[in-house]
Amino acid sequence: MQDKYAQVRLISKPENMLKTVYTACRTCYSADSPLNIYDCESAQDDEKMLKLINRVISSGHYSTIEHIQVSFAISNISRACSHQLVRHRHMSFSQKSQRYVKEKGQFDYLVPDTIDSNPELKQKFDEFMGKISEFYTELTENGIPAEDARAVLPNACSTSMVASLNLRELIHLANLRLCTRAQKEIRMLVKKMCDVLVQEEPWLKDYLVPKCERLGYCDEDKSCGRKPVKEK
């Protein structure tokens, strides 16, 4: 892949993530008000907060983590990858438009590893992208608007977006897309999203994992063998 997979930057997250989740969790089980809980002594103690948060999340009480919203600036992914990402319905996206942004010259594209590692096929792939680019240019030079000329652009075409989601959806995204059954490009993208967030919020490391880590078994038809399959 060109510059090996997505470029990802965490551009927005709450300052007081752990404390916010803790306040939400404890509010459910305390006679005290959220205002007092937020200011109380235990809300200064990461270990105490994590103990409660782990218990609440493990019991499936997920509304408590919906208060946390994070945003990522993402570039250098293929339209094939972005199409998979936008299937996640609790995410918000602002994606580079192929209507408003006309390609000038050879468009950027991503070459899947399996093709990139085969010199003969890689050369044919590049030539094919070149031909598509020539025809796209012919269309736009003949007055076809970009919104219609884009019909010939491939899934490999590079795109960029800002993507936002809450913590519940990020955990779900990680559970599905870090699984080896997910395509490599989206797996690498979601791994980078998780990694940049974990860098700032290390307590999330144990949640941002493939689903088999949370379930303790694999529920996929074809297992990679990392965990025992469901039946076993």
Ligand X SMILES: Cc1cc2nc3c(=O)[nH]c(=O)nc-3n(C[C@H](O)[C@H](O)[C@H](O)COP(=O)(O)OP(=O)(O)OC[C@H]3O[C@@H](n4cnc5c(N)ncnc54)[C@H](O)[C@@H]3O)c2cc1C
| Near ligand X by CB under 6 A: residue from 19, 61, 181, 214 | 181
Contacting range for ligand X; rule: CB under 6 A; set: 24-32, 65-73, 96-104, 170-178: 170-178
For 51, phi then psi, to 5°, come to -60, -50
Give the single-character DSSP code of 157.
B
3-state DSSP call for residue 5?
coil
The CA distance from 199 to 12, in Å, is 14
Of the two residues 26 and 211, which places its CB atom closer to ligand X in the complex? 211
Answer whether 141's CB lies under 8 Å from 33's CB: no
Q: By CB under 6 A, is residue 184 in contact with ligand X? A: no
3-state DSSP call for residue 1?
coil
Catalytic residue, chosen from 79, 150, 177, 187, is 177
In Å, what is the CA distance from 232 to each residue of 181, 209, 216, 226?
A: 19, 21, 11, 13
Catalytic-residue membership of 177: yes
Task: Transcribe 78-104 into DSSP letters.
Answer: EHHHHHHHTT-TTEEEEE--TTTS---
**How many residues of this chain bind ligand X (CB under 6 A)?**
10
Q: How far is the CB of 133 from ligand X (least distance, A)?
A: 29
Contacting range for ligand X; rule: CB under 6 A; set: 44-52, 84-92, 99-107, 187-195: 84-92
Q: By CB under 6 A, is residue 88 in contact with ligand X? A: yes
- Biggest alpha carbon–alpha carbon distance for the chain: 71
Q: By CB under 6 A, is residue 172 in contact with ligand X? A: yes
Q: By CB under 6 A, is residue 6 in contact with ligand X? A: no
Binding mask 130-159 for ligand X (x = CB under 6 A): ------------------------------
Of the two residues 163 and 204, which places its CB atom closer to ligand X in the complex? 163
Q: By CB under 6 A, is residue 191 in contact with ligand X? A: no
Q: By CB under 6 A, is residue 208 in contact with ligand X? A: no
* Burial of 80 from C-beta contacts in 10 A (0-12 / 13-18 / 19+): middle
Answer whether 110's CB lies under 8 Å from 76's CB: yes
Q: By CB under 6 A, is residue 176 in contact with ligand X? A: yes
Of the two residues 48 and 172, which places its CB atom closer to ligand X in the complex? 172
Catalog residues that contact ligand X under the rule CB under 6 A: 87-90, 169, 172, 176-177, 181-182
Catalytic residues: 177
